[in-house]
Amino acid sequence: MGYDISYAQYIDHTVLKPETTKATLKKFCDEAKEYGFASVCVNPVNIPYVSEQLKGSGVEACSVIGFPLGASTTLIKEMEAAEAVKNGATEVDMVINVGALKDKDYDFVEKDIEAVVKAAHPHALVKVIIETCLLTEEEKVVVCKLAKHAKADFVKTSTGFGSGGATVEDIRLMKKTVGEMLVKASTGINNREDCDAMLAAGASRMGTSKGAFIVKDELPSK
């Protein structure tokens, strides 16, 4: 047991529950600044507060977009991303239109991603949440290629609101598909063993609310 700050650089300290209060947001921001996490990831309405809390700290303010279903129209996703950036977001995590992917409407899916990329770049990185638990292996490969072609910065496994989270197998497949593009593992990452497995599989970021426990090598309270 003991601190290991080296894990912090990979962690998006994530707080997305609907009942999140400013007191909770401040706690997450304070922890992120203390340990040096990569970002604090929050719902769009909380970006103005979080970006102000993180100002000058080196920790990024990250907003989710089209979250958690990905079923907003492209225009709304584009506007949501633009407003998040205006409010201080330097990273955005968008959810794909899963139904369109399953319909094999690949042009729509790519343009949906591309619209968010154009709204966010060059001011913010874009991570594309593909919700792996809902996809076949073939669909995972296809959407990773679409996200890469749309010039997104990351592909990401999960929202945390689906039926499953990141797996080592999915991270390996995603990394193999996208090559030099980055991969984010999200959901179900609760300890250093989980982190080590995801990093070894090719992840560059991990979305988790357990970042402080991971750095301190403690078990989260029930």
Q: Which pLDDT value is given to residue 4?
A: 84
Q: Other CB atoms closer than 10 Å to residue 10's CB: what's the count?
A: 21
Give 111-121 pLDDT, tens digit per residue: 999 999 999 99
What's this model's pTM, rounded to 2 decimal places? 0.96
- The answer to whether 213 and 193 have CB atoms below 8 angstroms apart is no
Whether residue 156 lies in the annotated active site: yes
- The answer to whether 207 and 160 have CB atoms below 8 angstroms apart is yes
Residues 6+ away with beta carbon under 8 Å from 163: 133, 134
Q: Which of 77, 127, 140, 156 is catalytic?
A: 156
Q: Which of 93, 112, 153, 194 is catalytic?
A: 93
Whether residue 26 lies in the annotated active site: no
d(CA 181, CA 183): 7
- DSSP helix/strand/coil, 15: coil
Q: Which of 77, 140, 148, 184 is catalytic?
A: 184
Written in H, E and C, the secondary structure of 130-188 is CCHHHCCHHHHHHHHHHHHHCCCCEEECCCCCCCCCCCHHHHHHHHHHHCCCEEEEECC
Whether residue 176 lies in the annotated active site: no
Q: Confidence class of residue 84 from pLDDT cuts 50, 70 and 90?
A: very high
What's the whole-number mean pLDDT along residues 15-42? 98
Q: Confidence class of residue 61 from pLDDT cuts 50, 70 and 90?
A: very high
Place of tokens 């909770």: 24
Average pLDDT, the chain: 96
CATH topology of domain 5-216: TIM Barrel (3.20.20)
Q: Confidence class of residue 43 from pLDDT cuts 50, 70 and 90?
A: very high
1, pLDDT greater than 60: no
Q: Confidence class of residue 109 from pLDDT cuts 50, 70 and 90?
A: very high
90, pLDDT greater than 70: yes
